Structure 1
Amino acid sequence: MDTRKNVTGVERKVWDLIRELSPKLRDVTENPVLETILIVVKVLGARKEDVIAKDIIVSEKEKNIVKELVEKRASGYPLHYILGEKEFMGLPFFVEEGVFIPRPETEELVEMALDLIKRYSLRVVADVGTGSGAIGVSVAKFSGVTVFATDVSEKAVEISLKNAKRHGVLDRFVVKRGRFLEPFEKDYGKIEMILSNPPYVKKNAILPRDVLFEPSEALFAGKDGLDFYRAFFRRYNTEGKIILMEIGEDQVEKLKTILPDASFLKDTSGRYRFLYLNRRFS
């Protein structure tokens, strides 16, 4: 709980600062006041509830730090890199520059995976391109499986390990740096289900400013956005395995030519979002 002295009357210091700075974020977010509050919370080390409900005094040094971070956010820099974490599946995940920020729609992939794990009593799952570890750590946290995770980024390996430790699954989350499942070639036969939120954005796609601050290798996958799927399924024999991967909503028809026996599932907003391939219990 924040113990700093409250003020009364017209001296509403923290809200003076929020009102002054929040308009700067109008071009980068639909919630400029909320994002400014979250930045203030980060700098002050206070609870959001206290910042909202109390008239907290902000020091000159703290004001300057908040202003600097709001200006940084106004440039398009991702909010969650500033905050240092992102909630996913109800869990806080460390994120920082160089690591892809997990999206809410990917929670649906995890929920599907957990259902499949329970239905088929699976014990070993792979997470290809783990990033922050959001998929693999969540799956390990909410089930009893062992997760083999990979990423080409050393930063992602480092951050995913921090998140595995944070959520108490280091004993069941094994992450190694490498492309696809190369680091686990000797263990490939043990893997029963493969999960991934791979890069699937077209090379010439126009993206929001904040997304462009995220690692390009986690986003772009060639001219049509399908390079990952072509390479992965060309390389790996997936007989006897369940595959669940995120896709772009406009990629279904082309993916059918790569994987004629795959199913394509919609997310809760009605958009095609997932590739599902059951070659284990078909």
Structure 2
Amino acid sequence: MPRIPPWLFRKANRRSPNVAALLPACRDLQSAVNELRWLKEHVHGITRIQQEGLLSRLCRKRGQGYPLQYILGSQPFGPLDIKCRPGVLIPRPETEAYTYHLADLIKAGSLGVGASDQSLGIVDFCTGTGCIPLLLYALLSRRFERLEVLGVDISTRAVSLARANVAHNIRLGHLPSMRPNHTVDILQGDIFQDQILEKLQEQTWDVMVSNPPYISRRAWHYGGGQIGHSVRKYEPSLALVPGDDIPIPTAWEHEDVFYARLLDIASRLRPKAMLYEIGDEMQAVRVISRFSQHRLSVGSHIEVWRDWPDTTPSHEEGSLLETTTADGRSQTVLAKGSGNIRSIFITLGS
């Protein structure tokens, strides 16, 4: 990361010492000014002397890289206000973008779900704060007569926070109040244990979503790729790096092991569509290659979505991703949108 020039620190300090304290994390003056405004709103309500001392401490803490969302306690996510706490991954704008795009495809009827009986079931694995299932519920609740949305996570802390986010957003009016045949729920469970799958197989799941751990151990310990120092220092490795105790299937990389499991889960739940967040283009290529050998690949359609799937790619980005199947054949996959490769979208054959 490039160093901040001294003249920018001097300019920030003329605005306010707190703006200068925020600059190392914000990287530009306008962002620092914006964050200072939010922090001032956060400490509003206590005495002026207390405000000044607390605000100064929070600005220094933020300037050292501590996530703003953990300080403020929440992150906007579409129309929702998602509570954020240390130990649970912070929602990203790229995740919000592909969730919106998925909801638009569902509402347009292009996935072949909910067309006949107006019923839809969505399951989100590794749900964290619950931001994905809550946003999908908010966007789709008026479209379907029957809607069941479920988030699943192994972390007790994440499950507690996700359930709190359900109640919090209903209370704020950002989520529609529950009505007959409409549910959004959070379940604690380990997706590598079959007991939870046996329970899920009792219901119909049309769409399966996951933002699983996908960071390599090397990137986590030494940095690299799209993962920043602040993420490695302050956000939970459980949500980002597959555990060392997870068995690695033949021909799969350690950082890709959740995708191997998710494909096997899909074989049992038989959703019509799957959307998986991934770390980068190289990981997308590896997962697509492994998927080409999976029994689910017969009659399926696969594409990748960039950070902003609704936008037009630049000339340099292109709209196609060249991959190779596991047996060495070349394969061309549609790449939607602009930005970095962010997710893999699969519709399954009947």
TM-score, normalised via structure 2 length:
0.67
Paired position in structure 1 for 2:95: 106
How many residues align? The count is 256
Query: Do structure 1's residue 200 and structure 2's residue 201 form an aligned pair?
Result: no
Paired letter, 1:35: E
Q: Quote the RMSD (CA, aligned, Å).
A: 2.6
Paired position in structure 1 for 2:275: 244
Rounded Cα–Cα distance in structure 2 between residues aligned with 1:153 and 1:175: 11
Pick one of 5, 17, 20 that aligns with 1:20.
Answer: 17
Paired position in structure 1 for 2:260: 230
Alignment check: 8 A CA contact 1:141 1:167 kept: no
Q: Deviations over 1:240-270 (max 9, x none)?
A: 5311111122212211222113623232324
Structure 1 stretch displaced more, 75-84 or 177-186: 177-186
Does the C-alpha gap of structure 1 residues 245 and 219 become closer, same or farther in structure 2, counting only changes over 3 Å?
same
Alignment of 1:113-124 (within 5 A): 113-118=102-107, 119=109, 120-121=113-114, 123-124=120-121
Rounded Cα–Cα distance in structure 1 between residues aligned with 2:242 and 2:263: 14
Paired letter, 1:126: V
Paired position in structure 1 for 2:139: 142
Paired position in structure 2 for 1:9: none
Alignment check: 8 A CA contact 2:305 2:344 kept: no
Using the aligned pairs only, state the percent identity. Answer: 27
Paired position in structure 2 for 1:277: 346
**SS of match in other structure, 2:255:** coil
Paired position in structure 1 for 2:82: 93
Paired letter, 1:125: I
Alignment check: 8 A CA contact 1:153 1:177 kept: yes
Once the two structures are TM-superposed, the CA of residue 137 in structure 1 deviates from its matched residue by: 0.5
Alignment check: 8 A CA contact 1:102 1:132 kept: yes
Paired letter, 1:208: G
Paired letter, 2:235: E
Query: Do structure 1's residue 64 and structure 2's residue 95 form an aligned pair?
Result: no
Does the C-alpha gap of structure 1 residues 239 and 176 become closer, same or farther in structure 2, counting only changes over 3 Å?
closer
Pick one of 266, 287, 296 that aligns with 1:255.
Answer: 287
Rounded Cα–Cα distance in structure 1 between residues aligned with 2:126 and 2:14: 40
TM-score, normalised via structure 1 length:
0.82
Once the two structures are TM-superposed, the CA of residue 224 in structure 1 deviates from its matched residue by: 5.3
Which ranges of structure 2 fall in alignment gaps of 5 or more residues? 1-12, 142-146, 244-252, 309-337
Rounded Cα–Cα distance in structure 2 between residues aligned with 1:150 and 1:18: 46
Alignment check: 8 A CA contact 1:17 1:63 kept: no
Alignment check: 8 A CA contact 1:265 1:272 kept: yes
Query: Do structure 1's residue 177 and structure 2's residue 207 form an aligned pair?
Result: no
**SS of match in other structure, 1:194:** strand
Structure 1 stretch displaced more, 152-161 or 232-241: 232-241
Per residue, is there more strand in 1 or in 2? 2
